[in-house]
Amino acid sequence: GFVGGKKKTDRMFELMDGFLKNDPVSLQKDILHHVEYTVARSRFSFDDFEAYQALSHSVRDRLIERWHDTQQHFKKKDPKRLYFLSLEFLMGRSLSNSVINLGIRDQCAEALSQLGFEYEVLAEQEGDAALGNGGLARLSACQMDSLATLDYPAWGYGLRYQYGLFRQIILDGFQHEQPDYWLNFGNPWEIERVHVSYPVKFYGTVKEDVVNGKKCKVWIPGETVEAVAYDNPIPGYGTRNTINLRLWAAKPSDGYDIESYNTGDYINAIVNRQKAEIISNVLYPDDRSYQGKELRLKQQYFFVSASLQDIIRRFKDVHGNFDDFPDKVALQLNDTHPSISIAELMRVLLDEEHLGWKKSWNIVKKVFSFTTHTVQPEALEKVPVDLFQNVLPRHLQIIYDINFAFMEELKKKIGQDYARLSRMSIVEEGAVKNIRVANLSIVCSHTVNGVSRAHYELLKTRVFTDFYELWPEKFQYKTNGVTQRRWIVVSNPSLCALISKWLGTESWIRDIDLLARLREYASNSDLQKEWMMVKKINKMRLAEYIETMSGVKVSLDAMFDVQIKRIHEYKRQLLNILGVIHRYDCIKNMEKNEREKVVPRVCIIGGKAPPGYEIAKKIIKLCHAVAETINNDNDVGDLLKLVFIPDYNVSVAELVIPGSDLSQHISTAGHEASGTGSMKFLMNGCLLLATADGSTNEIIEEIGAENMFIFGAKINEVPALREKDSTIKAPVQFVRVVRMVRDGYFGFKDYFKSLCDTVENGKDFYLLGSDFASYLEAQAAADRAYVDKKKWNEMSILCTASSARFSSDRTIEDYAEKTWGIQPCKCPF
């Protein structure tokens, strides 16, 4: 034991030498310690990657200290906690974000430089954690950063996929997918919790039983898989609070298939056991829909079941019964993906806690809030009843019971309106019976959130009208936001320094509303000069990257015009490319003196197409084919370049966004629920060329339409335009550029035929033709504005100054207050 009358833990803390220190020498000691003992490199020869590993472990140690204190503090205070359930988190790199949030970036850089390493070079060693598809997943990551920074007692829960979103490689202009086995080189940012694991069950049958004299149902599962926790500490900025993102990995359970061992086929038994791991193997790479896939349903239930077991265990550690559950637990459903947790919580309360239907239901309907991220009714998840019956028989019963009660209640309110009853039913009748997961989520959540005001309007008037009329008070919206820590401080250090200099404080990094003060300097020529310098530095960085990736040399005087996001017909990358073709065509037909007036452009497109989405893949190929022609046309030279940036991901975005002048958000109005890319560009002083879709109208309110390039049909005009034959309204320029593609001007004539068919012959569903003229006008307006450097700079400064409302800090505060009912719980320093 310990001597000297000291408490054992105090003595232990003394032996630890207290908390780790953040001065450069202490950091150096830690880095060398990890080189020796963690990375185990021979003393002391280690390369950049090994130095990255050692640095990461040193940073991780600091995260763990704060993480422990935060969890301890939450435990002591026992506040209402938010549990954020999401099947996708697009975290990107962790090192750069962690050192910024811990406030030790400069110390790390100094420590490394004395050891002969460069911080920036090491940061580049890290691969992206790409456990998500696009906007929804990156939104989750931004929101975790805000939750930590604002001291909310929150946990994230998700799935630890072994294969993240595929890597995109381009061969001969075609997209090919390669597996992203991101854990190959280890992951210093996670902590494996071998002792935190729960059994998750599937299949089997349901039997009647009697417990304590009461009839109840017992589920006899057919398969058990173990869920093991991997914790990813999420540090807040300017606070000690460090919250947890707990991701579950599937492992074979000890009790798995004991029968097969007895058959004597030992090897096959092991091989079968190993199949359990398939559940958390791979992220579905298609963000359109996942209709009726057994593995998808298993993934959803797997992470939800493990998370709920964990949440309930934590609750029961402190509370004797479930009366307080809704006052201590908020469960956030990020889209419908985790919605099976509704049935699972109900099952646990009914079958395991024996609370009875009424009491269980009263708890369930108070804890869930649901955010939907889509406008397309066809993207709403459905699960065939047969599949459900097979994989989760007891849950299906519960859903039927919930639906029965709901239908009875509804009949009392609306009478025998069978058409409406059947639209609102959780169970879709028809040739194939389906569970409508969105309906389940709406019925059982206390709040349904949209992700922008426009999205909310569409939810009310088009997508969930029946439900809105029934429960108007349930429907809200929280316009999406992005974190300025990642999207300015980490990715654009020069801009960050400039903002702090002019505001005279760094407080805007926590208190984003301060950014608005930049407005008064928007026309100040000193700021403008410095602002332009920063843009130039970032454009240089981007130009270098473009040259390495695509071999195309671009001029820094050109306007960098960027569209980076997943490739989808509704996002209309095709409109962008057709616009580029038009520009090329115009230049080719110009006299020499006219050419002098042309504003040089570098058009940059990047994004992944879902692997099974043929048309999206053709758009990528078209981009390359057009680029091939334009970039090799010396007659056009620097007046126009088109580049496709391969393998777009979070860290590529961090490089591209700060270096762009103009960015495009040009979805057909009514299709983008919110859009979050635009917000990142806005923060980085990049002008927007956009349709009045998703969150754009709210951006217009902040910065003013005169400081943007808005074009195209409005949300309300789209349905009528679709009614008419769109080819009739397509302008001649449009017909001409499509004809060039059709006629094989860029080669691959047969291959592009079906792509051209999507916008011609009355089939132009996304209205490229009818928006084309106003698109070209907006582009021309951007050209004119770019010529007036002073004006352009002013607009650019106004973008950043007007971006406060689009910080995820604002989104999260809104959710905390209006949806989750949680309070900050700040851990003392």
Q: Which residues are catalytic?
A: 373, 565-566, 571, 676, 680
Counting runs of H as helices and runs of E as strands, what totals does the chain give?
Answer: 35, 24
Tokens of 393: 């028989």
- Shortest reach from residue 789's CB to ligand CR6, in Å: 32
Please state, in angstroms and rounded to a whole number, the distance separating the CA atoms of residues 219 and 443.
25
- Shortest reach from residue 706's CB to ligand CR6, in Å: 25
- Shortest reach from residue 485's CB to ligand CR6, in Å: 19
Question: Nearest-CA neighbor of 202 among 340, 21, 27?
Answer: 340
State the alpha helices, DSSP H only, in 517-649. 525-550, 573-588, 592-595, 614-631
Distances (CA, A) of 645 to 350, 363, 623, 705: 52, 49, 11, 29
- Which residue number, 153 or 450, has a Cβ lying nearer to ligand CR6? 450
Question: Nearest-CA neighbor of 496 among 679, 685, 650, 651?
Answer: 685
- Which residue number, 689 or 776, has a Cβ lying nearer to ligand CR6? 689
- Shortest reach from residue 437's CB to ligand CR6, in Å: 12
- Which residue number, 209 or 701, has a Cβ lying nearer to ligand CR6? 701
Question: Nearest-CA neighbor of 483 among 90, 103, 86, 66?
Answer: 90
737-745 LR contacts (CB < 8 Å, sep 24+): 737/578, 737/581, 737/582, 737/585, 738/578, 740/581, 740/585, 741/578, 741/581, 741/622, 745/629
Backbone φ and ψ for 85, nearest 5 degrees, come out as -95, 120
Beta strands in 182-213 (DSSP E): 191-202, 205-211
Please state, in angstroms and rounded to a whole number, the distance separating the CA atoms of residues 651 and 220.
46
DSSP letters for 690-720: EES-TTHHHHHHHH-GGGSEEES--GGGHHH
Number of Cβ atoms within 10 Å of the Cβ of 263: 9
Beta strands in 629-676 (DSSP E): 640-645, 662-665
Binding interface with ligand CR6 (CB under 6 A): 134-136, 139, 287, 335, 373-374, 451, 480, 672-676, 694
- Shortest reach from residue 782's CB to ligand CR6, in Å: 23
Q: Closest CB to ligand CR6 belongs to which residue?
A: 135
Backbone conformation region of residue 798, classed left if phi is above 0, alpha if psi is from -120 to 50, else beta:
alpha
616 in Cβ contact with 569 (< 8 Å):
yes
- Which residue number, 153 or 694, has a Cβ lying nearer to ligand CR6? 694
Pairing, β 214-220 against β 205-211? antiparallel
- Shortest reach from residue 607's CB to ligand CR6, in Å: 12
- Shortest reach from residue 668's CB to ligand CR6, in Å: 12
- Which residue number, 289 or 397, has a Cβ lying nearer to ligand CR6? 289
Residue with tokens 């026992």: 78
- Which residue number, 289 or 500, has a Cβ lying nearer to ligand CR6? 289
- Which residue number, 107 or 299, has a Cβ lying nearer to ligand CR6? 299
- Which residue number, 86 or 239, has a Cβ lying nearer to ligand CR6? 86
- Shortest reach from residue 130's CB to ligand CR6, in Å: 14
Written as one letter, the residue type at 659 is G
